[in-house]
Structure 1
């Protein structure tokens, strides 16, 4: 049986724009593939994955499933290995984990002219923060200031920075903040910091690149005063392009046939 079914899983999931992005891509590629969405939490993940039949080609994973998906995979690409998070599972000849968030962030930063910024602040300490850290290093960061509600949760980010050869400091959100050229917010959509903390981060934070895209502007973007605020829609698009490459080729670095036209179709679907 041809494997032609795909889906995005997460909790919550109703806001996800992945179905329209992927549907547009497969239509442009002339592929009769079905891409749906399903609300799945961490407790239900193993049973849901085990129940998939031979018609399933792969899954996209969003919060809170990226670390759970990583543990379920038997092989991992470099970015999944570095971050301990997989937002893509390819279900052909086993379960293969990939992280397209890293490349999606780098691609989106490049489109916004935000490469080569050496001093960066990351807000949050979850799975997306790990991807953001790797992406920022690949984009040119040499010093990274991580802010977390519970700084003890960021111990893995410090270790990851050491592996990548960059300095990573960790502080609570409301600590004094030195100037940086770029702030990458990895907080869940709808998260609101208290007004004083948001103002302090904004005044020293440079350009805000917020992975949130719905609703937009995010709570943080709406009070950002130091520079422009960029939504996560560009990251969403670019990581999805990389997911489509994986589902088609098994490799996120291999371009799609007529990829420019495919990307145009995906942009039109947003």
Structure 2
């Protein structure tokens, strides 16, 4: 029996065990997937002491960044994002992947958004980096990053240059007058009070993907919904990044579909209801 787990601290809120257990049951695999509370200092020793029964790990922040120097092989998206949310035990080799980017692209596609020209990004952390890469994959030419602390978007501006799109920084207060974006992605915790509401024009015309899913609706999503705007629930990103993780753990590659993948996705989605 293979063993897998999601790591983080705190971790008791994680829905990953529910999603993954549903997938492996559908696939007929007797695999064990648990949640383990683990902080940053204990990560190296944890990786070093896994035996051959271990197949993989899902990682939450801040472990997504801390794990990179501990890996033997890292996929291109994880290198770009500076974060790996997935670790595969491939014999003696530790392989890292980023499925957050694919999760964003896939959930937006489900809601009919398969191209972006101008994006707006709220927050400047590792999830924001994944969102920026997703926007680039969807064709964005320009992304504005709203942050509270001046200079916080500098790493994202450098990433944008490497991706071939223009990234500029603005204060979070600009959300009140922002307009012209096709897509807004918020990467701040759901209970965060931004101190400002989105402009009605932005809420009416742009799709909002709020990476947070608890509490729901978030403080940003609630007024967006009230204006009749389109909001993509953060659980969609979680669902699709988890499906890509299952691909990694089963097939060794996030781009290789599972057998009867539609059925696997369906039971994973049902497990969240």
Which TM class, normalised by the smaller chain length? over 0.9
Q: How does 1:98-109 map to 2 (within 5 A)?
A: 98-109=97-108
Alignment match, 1:152: 151
1:259 counterpart = 2:261: yes
Q: Is the 8 A contact 1:24 1:266 kept in 2?
A: yes
Q: How far apart are the structure 1 equivalents of 2:152 and 2:67?
A: 20
Alignment match, 2:21: 23
Q: Is the 8 A contact 2:178 2:198 kept in 1?
A: no
Q: Is the 8 A contact 2:22 2:268 kept in 1?
A: yes
Gaps of 5+ in 2: none
Q: How far apart are the structure 2 equivalents of 1:246 and 1:143?
A: 32
Q: How far apart are the structure 1 equivalents of 2:149 and 2:221?
A: 22
Alignment match, 1:184: 185
Alignment match, 2:167: 168
Q: How far apart are the structure 1 equivalents of 2:198 and 2:184?
A: 13
State the SS of the aligned residue for 1:251.
Answer: coil
TM-score, normalised on structure 1? Answer: 0.93
Q: How does 1:179-258 map to 2 (within 5 A)?
A: 179-194=180-195, 197-200=196-199, 203-205=201-203, 206-224=206-224, 225=227, 227-258=229-260
Q: How far apart are the structure 1 equivalents of 2:114 and 2:260?
A: 26
1:6 counterpart = 2:4: yes
Q: How does 1:89-128 map to 2 (within 5 A)?
A: 89-93=87-91, 94-128=93-127
Q: Is the 8 A contact 1:15 1:214 kept in 2?
A: no
Q: Give per-residue Cα distances to partners, 1:14-59, cap 9 Å, x unaligned.
A: 1111101100110111111000001222222223222322221110
Q: How far apart are the structure 1 equivalents of 2:40 and 2:150?
A: 23
Q: How far apart are the structure 2 equivalents of 1:7 and 1:190?
A: 26
Q: Is the 8 A contact 1:67 1:84 kept in 2?
A: yes
More off after superposition, 229-238 vs 21-30: 229-238
Q: How far apart are the structure 2 equivalents of 1:11 and 1:188?
A: 15
Alignment match, 1:138: 137
Q: Is the 8 A contact 1:213 1:232 kept in 2?
A: yes
Change (3 A) 1:181 1:246: same
TM-score, normalised on structure 2? Answer: 0.92
Q: How far apart are the structure 1 equivalents of 2:198 and 2:266?
A: 37
Alignment match, 2:46: 48
State the SS of the aligned residue for 2:197.
Answer: helix
Q: Is the 8 A contact 1:5 1:58 kept in 2?
A: yes
Q: Give per-residue Cα distances to partners, 1:166-203, cap 9 Å, x unaligned.
A: 11011121135343121100112322211xx2244x64
Gaps of 5+ in 1: none
Q: How far apart are the structure 2 equivalents of 1:65 and 1:189?
A: 20
How far off is 1:6 after superposition? 0.3
State the SS of the aligned residue for 1:261.
Answer: helix
